[in-house]
Structure 1
Amino acid sequence: MKVLVFGGSFDPVHKGHVALLRRAIKQISPDVTHVVPAYHSPFKAKSPTPFWLRMKMVKLAFAGLSKNLIFDDYELRQGGKTYTYQLIHYLQKRYKNPELYLLVGTDCLNDVHNWKNPQVIFDNATVVAGKRKGYNENPANFKHIFLPGFFPKLSSSRVRAHILSCGDIPDTVPPQISQTIYKHQLYGLDIHEWLKAHLKPNRYLHSCKVAEMAAALSDIYDVNVETAVRAGILHDAAKGFSGSELINFCRTHKIKVPFFEDISRQEPSLLHSYVSAWLAKHEFGVKNADVIHAIAEHTLGSLQMSTLSKILFVADISSKDRKYKDAFLIRNLAMQDLDKALRYAANRKLLFTIDSQKWLCPLGIDLWNHLLKQEK
């Protein structure tokens, strides 16, 4: 009995998943196909998207591909991290001497040997993979077959990053899945609704453009794209607060701000970055410390900026909605050398402040001196 198995987080399911499964069913002609959404993938943090919602999206996306589809909640019943070798054992108990085919993407094919107890997979299943254009085939030393043709380079993480940065759903997601995502405000759509309600339209647009640029820079400087986008979209969450509201908020919530009294007297708007960081953590549930620090540092910087902090600092001053003459220069520089772009951006910020005859915060001066020292 031929049993095709397709597992994954499907968070969310996209057209690449659909194309891969459709082609595999046509090529393998299985007697039965098990689609097995992960409860908690061994390779990722547990998805905040409830299992039942991901299962619902999978059922909608794959409906009609085959009469013999089984949407299997095996991993939910396991109630924790489940490994592929365990899934193999489960199916061997369910069927008598099954001929197992494990469907994976090209990236997974190259990594199967690193999975837990891979020999169980190699001895008991044939790995079925879809190829992407540009893939250099390196024959694996286990039973495997490639599906004919090529498949688009899509990933659920990229879909999530797009939704979080733009507030809309790309056409790489099937329409019926888009409806579910909108209905349940998944993948950051709830954040966009909040920002639209609390920010002026131009400030909301700026947040989206900063998130977009942070995503582009994350690819270059090896930062998780969703992490970069989350920092970008939330960096100005408190920008709609007045100066007095920012001061009172910091005092009420005991937010630690360097030079707080001076900033409160001279330029309270600078407090928005620290309040935005607080909102990211407490209003939107961001747990990643790098994201929190990057948001807090995006206006004045610090002497120990992470790569993410540098990306956000630069993206904030040079995002595509910025129209001053040096924005284009900083954007191009950032694509080549992030540290040089950071120095230029810090320099521009100081000059803007001086030209506007505003108070210079010591943190901005310290950052400039620190960057100058590093360059020398």
Structure 2
Amino acid sequence: MKILVFGGSFDPVHQGHVALFKKALKAVSPDVAHIVPAYHSPFKAKSPTPFKLRMQMLKKAFAGLGKNIIFDDYELKRGGKTYTCQLIEYLQKRYKKPEIYLLVGTDCLNDVHNWKNPEIIFNNAVVVAGKRKGYDENPAAFKHIFLPGFFPKLSSSRVRAHILACGEIPNTVPAAVHPLIEQHQLYGLSIHAWLKSHLKTNRYIHSKSVAELAAVLSDIYNVNVESAVKCGILHDAGKSMSGEQLIRFCKEHKIKAPFFESICAQEPSLLHSYVSRWLARNVFNVKDKDILNAIAEHTLGSLRMSTLSKILFVADISSKDRKYKDAFVIRNMALQDLDRALLYAANRKLLFTIDSQKWLCPLGTRLWNHLVENAR
């Protein structure tokens, strides 16, 4: 009996999953196909998207592909992390002498030998893999077959980043799945709903533009795209407040900011960075310290900026909604040299502040001196 098994987080399921599964059905002609969403993948943090919702999305995405498909909640019943070798053993017990075909993408194929107890997989299953263009085919030292053709370079993390950055579900997600994502405000849609109700339209558009540029820069400088996008979309969450409101909010919630008294007296709008960090942590449940620090540092910077902080600082001043002439210069510079773009961005901020006859926060001048010293 031929058993095709397709596991993964499916968070969310996308068109690449569907295309891969369709091609495998045709190539393998299984008697039964098991689609097995992970409860907690051994390779990732536990998904914040409830298992049952991901299962519902899978059923919508794969509807109509055949009656021999089993949407298997095996991992939910087990709880905790489940390894592929355990999934293979489960199928061996469920069926009498099954011929198991394990469906994976090219990226997984290259890493199967590093999985837990890989000999159980190699001795009891045939690995079925889809290829992407540019893949250098080196035949694996275990039973495997390649599906014909090539598959799009899609990933669930990219889909999540797109939704979080744009507030829209891309067409890389099956249309049947859209209503579930919208109904439950998944993958950042709840953040967009909050921002729309709290920020002015131009500020909301700016937040999206910063998130989009941060995503581009994250690819170039090897930073997690979802972290970069989360920084970008939330960096101005506190911008809806007036200076007086920002001061009151900081005092009420005991938010600390360098030179707090001077900022309150001279330029209270600068407090929005620290209020935005508070909102990210306490309203949107962001726990990652790098993300929180980047949000706090996006206006005045710091002497120890991470790559993520630099990306947000530069993206904020040079996003595509910025209309002043140097925005284009900084944006293109950032695509080539992030540190050079950071120095130029800090220079523009200082000159703008001086030209506007506004107070210079010591943090800004410290950043400038620090960047100049390092540039030399």
TM-score of Structure 1 vs Structure 2, range by shorter chain: over 0.9
Over residues 202-226 of structure 1, what are the superposed CA-to-partner deviations in whole Å (9 max), with x where a residue is unaligned?
0000000000000000000000000
> How far apart in 2 are the matches of 1:37 and 1:101?
16
What aligned pairs does 1:1-376 form with structure 2 within 5 A after superposition? Answer: 1-376=1-376
State the shift of 1:287 in Å. 0.7
Q: Counterpart of 2:336 in 1: which secondary structure?
A: coil
Give the TM-score normalised by the residue count of structure 2: 1.00
State the shift of 1:66 in Å. 1.6
> How far apart in 2 are the matches of 1:139 and 1:324?
53
> How far apart in 2 are the matches of 1:29 and 1:60?
22
State the shift of 1:138 in Å. 1.2
What letter matches 2:103 in structure 1? Answer: L
Over residues 73-118 of structure 1, what are the superposed CA-to-partner deviations in whole Å (9 max), with x where a residue is unaligned?
0000111010000001100000111100000011111111111111
Q: Counterpart of 1:91 in 2: which secondary structure?
A: helix
> How far apart in 2 are the matches of 1:73 and 1:335?
44
> How far apart in 2 are the matches of 1:37 and 1:21?
14
> How far apart in 2 are the matches of 1:167 and 1:326?
28
State the shift of 1:133 in Å. 1.1
Aligned length: 376
Give the TM-score normalised by the residue count of structure 1: 1.00
What letter matches 2:113 in structure 1? Answer: H
> How far apart in 1 are the matches of 2:138 and 2:319?
40
Q: Counterpart of 1:70 in 2: which secondary structure?
A: strand
State the shift of 1:323 in Å. 0.6
| Larger mean Cα displacement after TM superposition, 134-143 or 225-234 | 134-143
What letter matches 1:250 in structure 2? Answer: C
> How far apart in 2 are the matches of 1:88 and 1:168?
37
Q: Which aligned runs of 4 or more in structure 1 are off by greater than 2 angstroms?
A: none
Q: Counterpart of 1:239 in 2: which secondary structure?
A: helix
Over residues 186-214 of structure 1, what are the superposed CA-to-partner deviations in whole Å (9 max), with x where a residue is unaligned?
00000000000000000000000000000
> How far apart in 1 are the matches of 2:330 and 2:208?
18
What letter matches 1:60 in structure 2? Answer: K
State the shift of 1:161 in Å. 0.3
Q: Counterpart of 2:97 in 1: which secondary structure?
A: coil
Q: Counterpart of 2:154 in 1: which secondary structure?
A: coil
Q: Counterpart of 1:320 in 2: which secondary structure?
A: coil
State the shift of 1:128 in Å. 0.3
Q: Counterpart of 2:256 in 1: which secondary structure?
A: coil
What letter matches 1:80 in structure 2? Answer: G
What letter matches 2:150 in structure 1? Answer: F
> How far apart in 2 are the matches of 1:99 and 1:199?
57
> How far apart in 1 are the matches of 2:328 and 2:237?
25
Over residues 137-172 of structure 1, what are the superposed CA-to-partner deviations in whole Å (9 max), with x where a residue is unaligned?
111111110001111111110000000000001011
Over residues 214-248 of structure 1, what are the superposed CA-to-partner deviations in whole Å (9 max), with x where a residue is unaligned?
00000000000000000000000000101011001
What letter matches 1:172 in structure 2? Answer: T
State the shift of 1:135 in Å. 1.0
What letter matches 2:291 in structure 1? Answer: V
> How far apart in 2 are the matches of 1:291 and 1:323?
27
Runs of at least 5 residues in structure 2 that lack an aligned partner in the other structure: none
> How far apart in 2 are the matches of 1:373 and 1:250?
33
State the shift of 1:252 in Å. 0.8
State the shift of 1:63 in Å. 1.2
Q: Counterpart of 1:10 in 2: which secondary structure?
A: coil
RMSD: 0.5
Identity score, percent: 77
> How far apart in 2 are the matches of 1:66 and 1:176?
17
Q: Counterpart of 2:286 in 1: which secondary structure?
A: coil
> How far apart in 1 are the matches of 2:31 and 2:21?
14
> How far apart in 1 are the matches of 2:121 and 2:187?
33
What letter matches 2:105 in structure 1? Answer: G
> How far apart in 2 are the matches of 1:91 and 1:270?
59
What letter matches 2:52 in structure 1? Answer: W
State the shift of 1:180 in Å. 0.9
